[in-house]
Amino acid sequence: MADTKAKIIYTELLKEDLVVIRLVPENGMPKYKTGQFLTIGLPVRAENKIVKRAYSIASHAENRDYFEFVIRWVRKPLPGRVTTELFYLSVGDEVLLGDPTGDDLIIEDKYRNGEPDNRRVVCVGGGTGLAPFIAFAHHFRDTNDKRQLVVLHGASYVDELSYKRLLTDFENESKERGVDKWNFLYRAAISRPKEQYNRSWNGQVGRVESFFKENAQGVSPLDELVGEKVTPENTRIYICGYQGTIDGVMEYVADRGFVNRDNPHEDGTFEVKYESYG
């Protein structure tokens, strides 16, 4: 399929290198699945050509009004070409969108034999790897999915917890409605707690995979949060982030019998799905 033009309808600069952008394709929203990504293309003046880059979609498939993205402007060692251009765009400007694609983070709700899979879903987002799991949270809520959904987010600084308010509101709403109707938990980890800017932080410290690290009694912060030992029988894990985050989680959960697509069970199944960006 050819790329389609899309217009920016909303931008919100969360900090100088973190932005939320909403885009509307000119010929209507395509069908897609929650957890997919697409490419955004922009003309890069210095190169005299359209350059494309893949971004996870933070909006869910039931939202037919716009695509939402949360985008980090990485400037070291070199600034990202497309991202740099994106940060200079305003409402009304146009970009090129590719088709939604990717099935690494498609939400599973059945076992191979077709029976419903009611295991809890734990989402692990490193930095802007949170994006697909914002889509998961909206999707579970809008489709009345009764499974427990746990979103874990890791960032260096407190102002990088991009959807903290939304996810905290979702958890409060879950408590009010009753976990039998909407079962949602959110926790974040800050990896640089000693820096002055993070002095108000009193939550989990360390990288996001530290939620899976067992104490001397063999209990992890995630076990404590959900009130039971997390195992492949009761939990599926979805991860989006750098390869180090994925490897870090696997290091902690492999002893409990969790595997991913690189090393599946004999029947070809696995409980950990991941999407790596670099």
Total H helices, total E strands in the chain: 5, 12
Listing DSSP states for 135-203 in one string gives HHHHHHHHTT--S-EEEEEEESSGGG-TTHHHHHHHHHHHHHH-TTT--EEEEEEES-TTSGGGTT--S
Same fold, 4-97 and 120-276: no
pLDDT for the residue numbered 278: 61
pLDDT band at 81 (very low <50, low <70, confident <90, very high): confident
Mean pLDDT of 13-41: 95
pLDDT band at 35 (very low <50, low <70, confident <90, very high): very high
Q: Evaluate if residue 78 carries a pLDDT over 80.
A: no
What is the per-residue pLDDT across 121-179, written as a single tens digit (0 to 9) for each?
999 999 999 999 999 999 999 999 999 999 999 999 999 999 999 999 999 999 999 99
**Cβ neighbours, 10 Å, residue 215:** 10
Q: What percent of the chain has pLDDT over 90?
A: 90
The SS3 call for residue 250 is: helix
Residues 6+ apart with CB under 8 A from 148: 120, 121, 179, 183, 184, 185, 226
The candidate with the shortest Cα–Cα distance to 240, out of 263, 213, 216, 273, is: 273
**CA distance readout (Å), 160 to 17, 32, 60, 61, 217:** 9, 27, 21, 25, 32
Record: fold of 4-97: Elongation Factor Tu (Ef-tu); domain 3 (2.40.30)
Q: Evaluate if residue 44 carries a pLDDT over 70.
A: yes
Domains in the chain: boundaries: 4-97, 120-276
User: What's the half-sphere exposure (Cβ side, CA atoms, 13 Å) at 43?
Assistant: 5
Mean pLDDT of 12-34: 94
Q: Evaluate if residue 79 carries a pLDDT over 90.
A: no
Q: Evaluate if residue 237 carries a pLDDT over 90.
A: yes
Say if residue 194 is exposed, middle or buried (CB neighbours under 10 Å; 0-12, 13-18, 19+). Answer: exposed
What is the per-residue pLDDT across 251-271, written as a single tens digit (0 to 9) for each?
999 999 999 999 999 999 999
- What is the distance between the alpha carbons of residues 77 and 154, in angstroms, rounded to a whole number? 22
CATH code reported for the domain at 120-276: 3.40.50.80
pLDDT for the residue numbered 2: 76
What is the per-residue pLDDT across 183-227, written as a single tens digit (0 to 9) for each?
999 999 999 999 998 999 999 999 999 999 999 999 999 999 999
Say if residue 196 is exposed, middle or buried (CB neighbours under 10 Å; 0-12, 13-18, 19+). Answer: exposed
pLDDT band at 75 (very low <50, low <70, confident <90, very high): confident
